[in-house]
């Protein structure tokens, strides 16, 4: 989906939810370099979308837990928004998967850049 289509859908379906008291999280992108390019264009073309965004919704795919931590810190610094990781996974299933999951769990509890999910 293009950022322009994302903006159209945001304004049509997401913006009206604000009047119901719902906090909006950004559209999701992955940690591919094109993900940040997408957010850059989305927020540049729609500054009100960024003003309405309570957190940046990110996906991360890799076997590198340290890289994930750095990615989240970079997102936080670049967009000045809390980060919500709604999807993550190792690119290759191996013994590194447990190491990755443990590192992510530690990061989830100890890094303030992340938004913690709440029960509905």
Q: Give the pLDDT of the chain (120 residues) as one tens digit per residue.
A: 999 999 999 999 999 999 999 999 999 999 998 999 999 999 999 999 999 999 999 998 887 778 888 898 899 999 999 988 888 777 666 666 677 777 767 766 666 566 655 543
Give this prediction's pTM. Answer: 0.80
Across the strands, what pairs with 87? 59
Whole-angstrom distance, CA of residue 80 vs CA of residue 14: 20
Whole-angstrom distance, CA of residue 68 vs CA of residue 21: 31
Q: According to the model, what pLDDT value does residue 12 have?
A: 98
Containing 50, the helix (H) or strand (E) segment is helix 47-52
Q: According to the model, what pLDDT value does residue 120 have?
A: 37
Whole-angstrom distance, CA of residue 113 vs CA of residue 115: 7
- Where are any strands of DSSP class E within the chain? 24-25, 53-61, 83-89
Q: According to the model, what pLDDT value does residue 64 have?
A: 77
- Break the chain into its structural domains and give their ranges: 3-110
């Amino acid at each position: 989906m293009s950022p322009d289509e994302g903006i159209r859908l945001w304004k049509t379906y997401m913006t009206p939810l604000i009047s119901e008291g719902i906090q909006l999280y950004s559209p999701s992108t992955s940690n591919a370099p094109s993900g940040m390019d997408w957010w850059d264009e989305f927020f540049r073309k729609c500054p009100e979308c960024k003003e309405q965004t309570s957190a940046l919704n990110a996906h991360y795919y890799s076997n590198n837990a340290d890289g994930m931590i750095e990615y989240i810190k970079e997102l936080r610094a670049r967009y000045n928004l809390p980060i919500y990781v709604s999807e993550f996974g190792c690119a290759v299933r191996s013994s590194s998967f447990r190491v990755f999951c443990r590192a992510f769990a530690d990061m989830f509890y100890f890094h303030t850049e992340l938004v913690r999910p709440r029960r509905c």
